[in-house]
Structure 1
Amino acid sequence: MEQVSRRFWVTGRVQGVHFRASTERKARELGVTGWVRNLTDGRVEVLATAPDTALTELEAWLHLGSDRAEVISVEVQHEELQAFDGFSVVATV
C-alpha cells in the first residue's frame, strides 16, 4: 500500500493526561510511524506516515484521545512523504 504523511494538531485538554503515550500505543497498533509531541501553546502535534486507511483510523482516534483527554478539535495537513523508523514521543517544542 502507498504510504502518505500527515501532520495533526490536537486542541483541548491534551497535555498532562497521557495523550502522547496513548497516541504512541495507538500508532504502533495501526502500524503508523512518526512522532508525537507537546507544543508550548497547549496543543499536541503528531507527524505520521502510513497507508491512508491507517492515518484515517489514527485521526478518528485523535478526536477521542486518551481516557482523561478532552479533545476540542483536530487540524490536519497533508505533508510530503516522510520516512520514520517506528513511532516515538519527542521533546516539547
Structure 2
Amino acid sequence: MTAQEVRLTAWVRGHVQGVGFRWWVRSRALELGLAGAATNLDDGRVEVVAEGPRDRCEELLARLKSGATPGRVDSVGQRWTNSTGSFSGFVER
C-alpha cells in the first residue's frame, strides 16, 4: 500500500441489482488494478468499495457515473477515505 492509495465507497442507485452489474464493476475494477467489493444493499442500491491509487478509483467512479453499465444508473453517491488494505482482490456479493 502506498501513500496515494485511497478507499472509494460509492452507492449506485437505479436498476443495478443483478449479477451483470456486479460482474461489470468487478471487471472494470480488476482492469484498473483495484481491490474491493460490489454488494447488493437491501434498499435496492449497490455499494461499491474500491481501494487503490486515487486516479484509478476516480476512473472507476467516472465509469459508474457515465451510465455505460449493464442496468440503469440513476445516481451515484460517494465518500473518500484512507485505504485500509483489507482487500486482496475484488469480489461480487
- With normalisation by structure 1, the TM-score equals 0.87
Please list every run of 5 or more consecutive structure 2 residues that lacks an aligned counterpart in the other structure. Answer: none
Task: Choose which of 9, 12, 15 in structure 2 pairs with 1:10.
Answer: 12
Across the aligned residues of Structure 1 and Structure 2, the Cα RMSD in angstroms comes to 1.4
Counterpart residue number, 2:89: 86
Which deviates further from its counterpart, 43-52 or 8-17? 8-17
Contact 1:4 1:52 in 2 (8 A): yes
Paired AA for residue 38 in structure 2 = V
**Unaligned 5+ residue runs, structure 1?**
none
Residue 66 (structure 1) aligned to one of 62, 69, 84:
69
Shift in Å, 1:66: 2.3
Deviates more, 1:47-56 or 1:58-67: 58-67
Residue 49 of structure 1 aligns with which residue? Answer: 51
Runs ≥4 residues deviating over 3 A: none
- The CA distance in 2 between the partners of 1:41 and 1:65, in whole Å, is 22
